[in-house]
Structure 1
Amino acid sequence: MLSLSVAFLALSAHASPIFSRDDGTLVTTAQGAVQGTLVTPTVRQWLGIPYAAPPTGTSRFAAPQPAPSWSSTLSASAFGNSCPSVLDTEFLTIIGLLQQQESIAYDEDCLNLNIWAPATSRPQGGAVMLWVYGGGDMFGSSNTPYYSGTTFVEDHDDLVIVTFNYRMDIFGFPNAPQQLTNVGLLDLDAAIQWVYANIAAFGGDPERITIFGESAGALAVDAYAFSHPTDTVVKGIIAESGTAQLTSILQIGSTSPSETNSSWNTVANALGCGTAGDAAQLACMQAVPWQTLLSEVVSGGESFTPYPDGQTIFSDVSTRSSNGEFLKVPFLVGNNANEGDIFAVAFEEGDFGNTIPVATTVLSDAVTEVVFLCPASKAANDRTNAGVATWRYRFEGVYLDATNNNADLRAFHTVEVPMVFGTYNLSTFSYAPVSNEIALSAWMQSAWVTFAQNPVSGLSSYGWTQYSTNILSSTIARLGNSDNPSGATYSPPIDFDVGCGAVNALTPYVIDLIDDLGSIF
């Protein structure tokens, strides 16, 4: 779910002398002191802490570097800059976030994070959940109301929530022949390492870190498992509506970055940097003001997404998954019942001014199965076959405050995020949450927290049985199903996965449709 430019002061400008306080909001990190706030009587909050150096100048398109130190106390009472974004206006309008995302401050100096932790009067040393937002790697920001960690921490002991910004579009996934690494995914690595080194000072346990994300964020956390198969820092992974296999399913990287008509060379040529693909071209692109660079990407309609660089994304990820070549930590994965609704509606309303009911459903179902359902099934099966403790869900809840009473929207892509964060009450639409929605949100949030607190067996004690590859075993949690709208019912894989065997034949046709839809994850 979310993500143009607004001038904003550098984060370092927030540094100023601050008198010591006794509420636990003044914390010392490896880079210096940070002053947060007591956002509720039981929750401490820090916003906009740099976790890496500004990726500007010659550091543009490069791997993130360690955050610089500061001598004065850093004020962490306001969100830092968000990374430059190509906002999907149709998508953001449908979910009610366009105005908010247009109003926040964007700048290339954007590698910062936010922390919510229990007040010092509560137990410390909590499990850590690090959130990765979605947005198709084109837009998104940790400065999004639905991603606030306040409710998470207020309602659960033994928990710390972290969110962060990472580079997107051409800034994070330049696909430049001189530098093919997906630096936006390396930003996740940097955030994880910063959290591991510093989170104890905020009341978190560095030995209990779970990474969780949705859509492109889910792709990122799953991709982390493939690029870090022997990692010892991350202890659990939650992937909502996305897996690493999206890169191969969506044929990402099918155009060589060195081709003259690649997105990189097209933008570079338009900006006077040529198509040589040499060091001079890269230096030229690093010198272009970021606003000019982003404007050219938008006006030219070019797309920049993760490339199979052999370091963060692998072209043979499906085979690697089948062979168990990934980080073997507990895995929670799932998708929404009608993921494709929002893409079909955005496409039809954008191109035709309204939707075509039957066409909407057919297109939505195809996208849901090819892009979300079957990859989640394969990921769950491969993890289980490798002996990894795995849980799988299917979200089915439909609520007016999420759909804005749009009959074409059911359990669509991104709709579960406010349920997980307990932020559904922040909807901008004029519908109040209903009792079943409130109860289901509490159930889901507690389930996610239980997983993070004890990834190996926590959910089993919660009443949710580990996923089984036995197609008749009822281990898929159906969340918000009419049989139990405030909790979970359980069904076997055969109820949903029977069509996945035919997906390979359908995929090329669905991919053609996706090309017309534009951003899909």
Structure 2
Amino acid sequence: MHVALALLATLLVSGTNASPLARDDGTLITTSQGSVQGTLVSSSVRQWLGIPYASPPTGTLRFQPPQSAPSRSGTLSATTFGSSCPALLGTEFLELVGMLQQQESVPVDEDCLNLNIWAPATGRPQGGAVLLWVYGGSFQFGTSNTPYYSGQSFVDGFDDIVVVTINYRLNIFGFPNAPQQLINIGLLDIDAAIQWVYTNIAAFGGDPERITIFGESAGAIAVDAYAFSHPEDTTVKGIIAESGTAWFEALGSTDPASFSAANSSWNTVASALGCSTSGDAAQLACVQEVPWQVLLNEVISSGETFSSYADGQTLFSDVSTRSTSGEFLKVPFLVGHNADEGDIFVVALEEGDFNFTIPVATTVLSDALTELLAHCPAEQEAGDRVSAGVPTWRYIFEGVYPDLTDNNPNLRAYHSSEIPLVFGTYNDSTFPYGPTSSEIALSSWMQGAWVAFAQDPVNGLTNYGWPSYGSLPVLYTLAELGNSNNPDGPTYSVAATLDVGCGVVNTLTPLVFQAISLLGGVL
């Protein structure tokens, strides 16, 4: 006893010389594959970056479904973003939204199947609902290593929420359109990420039984496609689709038989790489051996397109029929689009290829694109969800802000412009304009809505004051966000008054798809 007291007294007297006890800030986490070390990025938010959720898709695993991430004996330093997946950069689009330089500067490698997590510090409530983000980019470009996609603002501003962002394979690496492997591998990557999160998120302070998947553009198509390919799933409890639906994507699906043609995109690239047009196992193995940089450069120089198609497993050609029949995962659904989706694509084409804009023509084509790409598919799917008894909410984002448009008069509420408000990352704009007071207020309202939905997909938004989308077209349930009548929040409108054009949109479909082909694809 005397010895113990003496030791204690010595430590108290000479505390400055004793080795300090390590402070447990909750950033060292054990996962299924091993331990990961994150960082405390603020007094209230923990962060982990670049955690692998699958094995590196290299060598013989290129063009193959994702495999489980390997176990580690040491601790992974999850303090910097992992590599982004090889991508084709839609340069004019990215330049217009102020993201080109950032996208060009991220580290890129084929070993890119990683994810990022933001969670509340250990002194705050744990077991939070999970928002899992899937980026857009036409399945051609995109990365979770994007300032606009940081989850820190979400977690810093709200209790009971954890945010996850993921990378998935793109272009020929994720959607090879190869006759030997007719499946959307990039969509399988997303499935694998969701399952990794379900298995591991409790260790990070998240609730695996409250996972909501949300995405924009191609990311919205992906999360909606998940509902159709997993109709009996028990992992995902809510879906948020921003400016994209599987219903629209299926309209432009390619006949899989065409992928075997000698002049198909796959065979064209394979032939140029010296791998023949045989379409057999030897051809696939040959392309798998090509360095990824060489493969990507050949795709770029050839101008060939690789994107999603109706493979009958991850995406279906009869999505519209399945939607009408209620053949989908019946979890609460939040769907919407931006009022002027087409602006960014038309202006990008005009300023990039034509070097001039025609204001009236710009508006007319943009409005047609918006109707077909986003407005009418959202109207269709929202109605089908309601008919199937699924709690549903619908919005139209109408805010226009100089810091997101670079004060360009030809850009209104364009495709993707809602993202900085959803994430509260408008301060990361590269344009020389600050956020407006209305932008800040609307962002706060939208973040609160997305969080309320994730926390309780069935009742959260109703309790937040947003009435669920009704089967009767005369109900004031469609939320116009950033409308001039209430620039700081929602204006609830009668959907029927805004959906009048959807009755004839099918007659415009061939013309708009022709325009889309000229634009090089948009979602």
Q: TM-score, normalised by structure 1?
A: 0.96
Contact 2:58–2:110 (CA under 8 A) maintained in structure 1: yes
Contact 1:52–1:64 (CA under 8 A) maintained in structure 2: yes
Residue 288 of structure 2 is matched in structure 1 by 286
Residue 333 of structure 1 is matched in structure 2 by 335
Residue 7 of structure 1 is matched in structure 2 by none
Residue 233 of structure 2 is matched in structure 1 by 231
Contact 2:253–2:310 (CA under 8 A) maintained in structure 1: no
Deviation per CA, 1:324-378, whole angstroms, max 9, x where unpaired? 0000000000000000000000011112112111110011000000111000000
Residue 438 of structure 2 is matched in structure 1 by 436
After superposition, residues 500-519 of structure 1 pair within 5 angstroms as 500-519=502-521
1:314 aligned to 295, 313, 316, which one? 316
Q: C-alpha separation between the residues in 1 aligned to 2:274 and 2:247?
A: 36
Residue 105 of structure 1 is matched in structure 2 by 107
Residue 171 of structure 2 is matched in structure 1 by 169
1:151 aligns with 2:153: yes
Q: C-alpha separation between the residues in 2 aligned to 1:90 and 1:391?
A: 33
2:131 aligned to 129, 132, 150, which one? 129
Q: Which SS does the other structure have where 1:369 is aligned?
A: helix
After superposition, residues 442-521 of structure 1 pair within 5 angstroms as 442-521=444-523
Q: Which SS does the other structure have where 1:257 is aligned?
A: helix
Gaps of 5+ in 2: 1-20
Amino acid at match of 2:509: T
CA shift at 1:165, angstroms? Answer: 0.3
Name the CA shift for 1:254/1:402 in 2 (closer, same or farther; >3 Å). farther
- Work out the percentage of aligned pairs sharing the same amino acid: 70
Gaps of 5+ in 1: 1-18
Q: Which SS does the other structure have where 1:235 is aligned?
A: strand
Q: Which SS does the other structure have where 2:212 is aligned?
A: strand
Contact 1:221–1:239 (CA under 8 A) maintained in structure 2: yes
Contact 2:85–2:108 (CA under 8 A) maintained in structure 1: yes
1:96 aligns with 2:98: yes
1:267 aligned to 266, 269, 272, which one? 269
Residue 11 of structure 1 is matched in structure 2 by none
Residue 12 of structure 2 is matched in structure 1 by none
Residue 417 of structure 2 is matched in structure 1 by 415
Deviation per CA, 1:84-134, whole angstroms, max 9, x where unpaired? 000000000000010011001000000000000000000000000000000
Amino acid at match of 1:302: E
**Structure 1 residues 30-39 or 247-256, which shifts more?**
247-256
Residue 214 of structure 2 is matched in structure 1 by 212
CA shift at 1:493, angstroms? Answer: 1.4
CA shift at 1:495, angstroms? Answer: 1.7
Amino acid at match of 2:319: V
Amino acid at match of 1:321: S
1:403 aligned to 396, 402, 405, which one? 405
Q: TM-score, normalised by structure 2?
A: 0.95
Residue 37 of structure 1 is matched in structure 2 by 39
Residue 25 of structure 1 is matched in structure 2 by 27
After superposition, residues 182-193 of structure 1 pair within 5 angstroms as 182-193=184-195
Contact 1:340–1:412 (CA under 8 A) maintained in structure 2: yes
Q: Which SS does the other structure have where 1:309 is aligned?
A: coil
Amino acid at match of 2:109: D
Contact 1:92–1:98 (CA under 8 A) maintained in structure 2: yes
CA shift at 1:252, angstroms? Answer: 4.1
Q: C-alpha separation between the residues in 1 aligned to 2:257 and 2:359?
A: 34
Q: Which SS does the other structure have where 1:245 is aligned?
A: helix
After superposition, residues 51-90 of structure 1 pair within 5 angstroms as 51-90=53-92
Contact 1:255–1:262 (CA under 8 A) maintained in structure 2: no
Q: Which SS does the other structure have where 2:237 is aligned?
A: strand
1:119 aligned to 121, 126, 146, which one? 121
**Structure 1 residues 243-252 or 36-45, which shifts more?**
243-252
Q: Which SS does the other structure have where 1:62 is aligned?
A: coil
Residue 378 of structure 1 is matched in structure 2 by 380
Q: Which SS does the other structure have where 1:475 is aligned?
A: strand
CA shift at 1:290, angstroms? Answer: 0.5
Q: Which SS does the other structure have where 1:201 is aligned?
A: helix
Deviation per CA, 1:429-460, whole angstroms, max 9, x where unpaired? 00010100000000000000000000001100
CA shift at 1:20, angstroms? Answer: 6.3
Amino acid at match of 2:443: S
Deviation per CA, 1:32-65, whole angstroms, max 9, x where unpaired? 0100000011000000000000000000000000
Q: C-alpha separation between the residues in 2 aligned to 1:214 and 1:351?
A: 26
After superposition, residues 10-21 of structure 1 pair within 5 angstroms as 21=23
Q: C-alpha separation between the residues in 2 aligned to 1:330 and 1:236?
A: 5
Q: Which SS does the other structure have where 2:442 is aligned?
A: helix
Amino acid at match of 2:259: P
2:196 aligned to 178, 194, 197, which one? 194
Deviation per CA, 1:225-262, whole angstroms, max 9, x where unpaired? 00000000000000000000122233445772111111
Deviation per CA, 1:465-494, whole angstroms, max 9, x where unpaired? 110132211110000000000000111111
Deviation per CA, 1:407-440, whole angstroms, max 9, x where unpaired? 0000000000000000001100000101000000
Contact 1:117–1:204 (CA under 8 A) maintained in structure 2: yes
Q: Which SS does the other structure have where 2:383 is aligned?
A: helix
Q: Which SS does the other structure have where 2:29 is aligned?
A: strand
Contact 1:469–1:493 (CA under 8 A) maintained in structure 2: no
The root-mean-square deviation of aligned C-alpha atoms, in Å, is 1.0
Q: C-alpha separation between the residues in 2 aligned to 1:250 and 1:407?
A: 31
Q: Which SS does the other structure have where 1:55 is aligned?
A: coil
Residue 9 of structure 1 is matched in structure 2 by none
CA shift at 1:312, angstroms? Answer: 0.1
Q: C-alpha separation between the residues in 1 aligned to 2:216 and 2:57?
A: 24
Contact 1:252–1:305 (CA under 8 A) maintained in structure 2: no
CA shift at 1:519, angstroms? Answer: 2.8
Contact 1:395–1:480 (CA under 8 A) maintained in structure 2: yes
Q: Which SS does the other structure have where 2:479 is aligned?
A: strand
Amino acid at match of 2:149: Y
Q: C-alpha separation between the residues in 1 aligned to 2:159 and 2:336?
A: 25
Contact 1:249–1:371 (CA under 8 A) maintained in structure 2: no
Amino acid at match of 1:186: L
**Number of residues paired by the alignment?**
503
Amino acid at match of 2:96: I
1:351 aligned to 350, 353, 372, which one? 353
Q: C-alpha separation between the residues in 1 aligned to 2:269 and 2:441?
A: 49
